[in-house]
């Protein structure tokens, strides 16, 4: 770690760590919203559950980092099951509405609970998150997500996204799959929350409001729904844009809002939505090696 510290200035280290944390959380939401097609507007609530659980275990029980992170993530996943169980049986926008409500409720609960420090928040949380452990977890998350999406489970989720009734008639237990996907996605949000808490050392309920959920959703939609490289790109771009726009000072959020509208109007499927990566790579390799055969289509239905 020390040799990395000398290579990268603390400012860039901080930005890169946040990008990594957002990639993990965006991958989680991508599984729920991108792959399974269930809109969640409360991802930050699961992030906050992970953050508070991990932070409390570190401070009060002296857990090592990995144990706190894991407990936080598992706790977020459990809450995912609890919230998903009644709401995911329904079709339509009910998950969106329930998660939105859940997010607002969690903020109020954290404001009022004694153990989480109420409005004052929790501090000091030991600073243990660094570039190495964040990016190790990013690689792990990408691998897990890739394996998940290209498994029987992932194909079932895609089928649910494309047509729930057809999926059901093919023998897919849609409710169980949706709850599982939601729980796994929430698990990753909780993991990101734990990493976040151990980086900033101070967390308060206001950090995890509706706008934070929206921020993560923007990353997934901007990158391209259902696309793992898309979620990574979206998180990378949107987590660093506020830093890039810092020169604009007060006009920063104004530009951010206008940029969101413009990006959606001109690229409604996201930056990488509908891009088939295997095909892209194959084509590039063939062009480079001078092979003129047309690239074979990947018919598995995984968009990009």
Partner 1 sequence: MIFELIVQQLVNGLTLGSTYALIALGYTMVYGIITLINFAHGEIYMVGAFVGLYLVTAMQWNLLAAMAGAMAFCMVMGIVIERVAYRPLRRSTRLSALISAIGVSIFLYSLMLLIRGAQPTRFPKIFPDRMLSLGVAEISLLQLFILAVSALLMIGLHYLVQKTRVGKAMRATSQDYDTAALMGIDVNQIISYTFAIGSSLAAAGGVLVGMYFNAVFPLMGYQAGLKAFAAAVLGGIGSIPGAMLGGVLLGVLEMLGVAIGLSSYRNAIAFTILILVLLIRPTGLMGRQIQRKV
Sign of the torsion formed by the C-alpha atoms of 296, 298, 299 and 304 = negative
* Binding residue (CB under 8 A) for partner 1 from 115, 127, 170, 253: 253
User: Judged by CB under 8 A, how many residues of this single chain contact partner 1?
Assistant: 47
Q: Between 54 and 98, whose beta carbon lies closer to partner 1?
A: 98
b/e for 142-161, b at 16 or more Cβ within 10 A?
Answer: beebeebbeeeebbbbbbbb
Q: What is the nearest approach in angstroms of partner 1 to the Cβ of residue 19?
A: 20
Q: Where does 2-157 show beta strands of DSSP type E?
A: none
Residue carrying structure tokens 């991108």 = 34
From the list 93, 170, 176, 291, which residue makes contact with partner 1 (rule: CB under 8 A)?
93
CB 259 within 8 A of CB 236: no
What CA–CA distance (Å, rounded) separates 176 from 201?
37
Q: Which of 260, 271, 275, 280 binds partner 1 (CB under 8 A)?
A: 260
One of 19, 51, 70, 98 touching partner 1 (CB under 8 A) = 98
Beta bridge partners of 122: 203
What are the b/e assignments for 231-258, b being 16+ CB within 10 Å?
Answer: bbbbbbbbbbbbeebeeeeeebeeebee
C-alpha span between 172 and 151 (Å, rounded) = 14
Q: How far is the CB of 253 from partner 1 (least distance, A)?
A: 4
What residues form DSSP beta bridges with 138? none
Beta partners for residue 203, in sequence order: 122
Stretch that binds partner 1, among 49-57, 104-112, 134-142, 181-189 (CB under 8 A): 104-112
Q: Which of residues 9-68 bind partner 1 (CB under 8 A)?
A: 33, 39
Q: Is 105 in the site for partner 1 (CB under 8 A)?
A: yes
Q: DSSP string spanning 28-49? A: HHIIIIIIS----S-HHHHHHH
The yes or no reply on residue 170 touching partner 1 (CB under 8 A) is no
Taking CB under 8 A as the criterion, which residues in 269-288 touch partner 1? 269-270
- Contact with partner 1 (CB under 8 A) among 109, 127, 136, 170: 109
The correct pick among 265, 293, 294, 299 for binding partner 1 (CB under 8 A) is 265
Kindly list the residues in this chain that would bind partner 1 in the complex (CB under 8 A): 33, 39, 86-87, 90-94, 96-98, 100-102, 104-105, 107-109, 111-112, 165-166, 210, 214, 217-218, 221-222, 225, 250-254, 256-261, 264-265, 268-270
């Amino acid at each position: 770690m020390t040799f990395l510290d000398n290579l990268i200035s603390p400012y860039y280290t901080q930005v890169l760590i946040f990008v990594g944390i957002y990639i993990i959380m965006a991958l989680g939401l991508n599984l729920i919203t991108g792959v399974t097609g269930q809109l969640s507007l409360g991802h930050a609530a699961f992030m906050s559950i992970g953050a508070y659980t991990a932070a409390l275990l570190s401070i009060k029980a002296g857990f090592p980092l990995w144990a706190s992170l894991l407990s936080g993530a598992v706790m977020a996943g459990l809450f995912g099951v609890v919230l998903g169980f009644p709401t995911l049986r329904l079709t339509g926008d009910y998950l969106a509405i329930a998660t939105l409500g859940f997010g607002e409720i969690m903020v109020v609960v954290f404001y009022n609970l004694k153990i989480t420090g109420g409005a004052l928040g929790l501090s000091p949380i030991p600073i243990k998150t660094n570039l190495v452990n964040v990016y190790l977890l990013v690689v792990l998350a990408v691998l897990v997500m890739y394996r998940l999406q290209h498994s029987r489970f992932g194909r079932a989720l895609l089928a649910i996204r494309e047509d729930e009734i057809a999926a059901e008639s093919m023998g897919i237990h849609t409710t169980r799959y949706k709850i599982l996907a939601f729980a796994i996605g929430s698990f990753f949000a909780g993991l990101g929350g734990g990493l976040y808490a151990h980086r900033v050392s101070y967390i308060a309920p206001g950090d995890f409001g509706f706008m934070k959920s929206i921020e993560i959703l923007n990353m997934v939609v901007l990158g391209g729904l259902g696309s793992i490289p898309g979620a990574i790109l979206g998180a990378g771009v949107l987590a660093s844009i506020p830093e890039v726009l810092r020169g604009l000072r007060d006009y920063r959020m104004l530009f951010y809002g206008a940029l969101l509208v413009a990006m959606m109007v001109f690229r409604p499927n996201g930056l990488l939505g509908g891009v088939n990566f295997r095909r892209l790579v194959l084509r590039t390799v063939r062009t480079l090696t001078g092979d003129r055969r047309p690239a074979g289509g990947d018919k598995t239905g995984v968009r990009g």
